Amino acid sequence: MRIILCGFGVVGQSLVKLFDSRSDELYAKYGLKPRVVGVFDSKGSAVDKSGLDLYKLVEVKKKFGTVKNYSKTKNSMSGTDMLKNIEAEVLIETTASNYKDAEPGMTHITTAMKNSMHVISVNKGPLALAFPSLLELAIYNQVMFKFSGTVGGGTPILDYAKNSLSGERITSFAGILNGTTNYILTNMASGLSFEEALKDAKDKGYVEADESLDLDGLDAAAKLVILANWIMGMKVTLPDIDCSGIRKVTVKDIGKAAKKNCAIKLIASCDKELIVGPKEIPNDDPLCVNGTLNAIAFTSEHSGTQTIIGKGAGGMETASSILRDLLDIRQEIARD
């Protein structure tokens, strides 16, 4: 299967390492032979129609900071040109999430769909701003659009609600969808001030380059948009979310909650309204997970409330969700 990979950061590099380390097994077990024919980052690209050497690609990126130096000619083909001119079955979009105009991911995804490529995105920006129209574009162009890694990283939250609960009517859901704010709130509950907890999270590499995406609830809101569209069939985008973050939560608020055997968590919920905001959660509620964990509770008409818990991020975890999507695409192509 020929693949074009947009972005070669933490997730992109984890993915090619996964392909490289499991190539024999992927072929023997699933008949999947991923052939990465093009990769680009913000500085340039690497192309080989017969398949790039994945080990070399990672080494080049490590040494030069860009995949451009993969070949002596230093390829500077733009991402859009690559998507228009290099033949591939699947685009994997892993550039940074941007909630202002969703670029460059939006152009990558729409160009690929219009060129009849299936798309896997872990980039939440385009989905947060244009989920309904992207789904329509995929249907119109008869391509598959997969995005398992956008919510929960490697934890299959979307698949669980869509497939394991199929036939059920999910009436509402609520969850902790951002590991960074959960880590900060957990540390504040152990006595750190907001500033100390934020610094610790930054030192550990948990905070987005633009900290506002975590702290002001935008990342959680983007995931709520994806869930609301995909699971509840709503047609909503980011401006439809009533969103507030954790900046105003004080150690005093957390102490008050603790006296009631509760913790304050940043909760994204879909009931009558779509809301992201800090909320008191009883300590014995399965949703009340600590550290960087994510958790989401789905309430359905007949099977009650079920909570799924797992790591919400991480390069390898997110790469494994891309692999799941790729296997789905491979199976659907084989079925056709």
Q: Are strands 90-93 and 242-243 parallel, antiparallel or unpaired?
A: unpaired
Residues 276 and 220 sit within 8 Å (Cβ to Cβ): yes
Coil, helix or strand for 299?
Answer: strand
Q: Are strands 293-300 and 274-282 parallel, antiparallel or unpaired?
A: unpaired
Nearer to ligand NAP, 132 or 314 (CB): 314
Of 38, 126, 149, 277, the residue at the interface with ligand NAP (CB under 6 A) is 149
Report the phi/psi class of residue 266: left, alpha or beta, with left for phi > 0 and alpha for psi in -120 to 50: beta
What is the pattern of x (binds ligand NAP, CB under 6 A) and - over residues 62-91? ----x------------x------------
Contact set for ligand NAP, span 31-60 (CB under 6 A)? 40-43
Residue number, nearest CB to ligand NAP? 9
CB of 11 to ligand NAP, least distance (A): 4
CB of 73 to ligand NAP, least distance (A): 19
What is the pattern of x (binds ligand NAP, CB under 6 A) and - over residues 283-312? ------------------------------
d(CA 58, CA 146): 25
d(CA 193, CA 214): 17
Measured CA angle at 252 (ends 250, 254), to 5 deg = 75
Does the footprint of ligand NAP cover residue 181 (CB under 6 A)? no
Whether 202 is catalytic is no
d(CA 271, CA 280): 17
Of 34, 38, 126, 153, the residue at the interface with ligand NAP (CB under 6 A) is 153
Of 35, 135, 165, 314, the residue at the interface with ligand NAP (CB under 6 A) is 314
Coil, helix or strand for 50?
Answer: coil
DSSP-derived letter for residue 238 is G
Could you list the active site residues?
223
Q: Which residues are at the interface with ligand NAP (CB under 6 A)?
A: 7-12, 40-43, 66, 79, 94-97, 104, 122-124, 149, 153, 313-315, 318
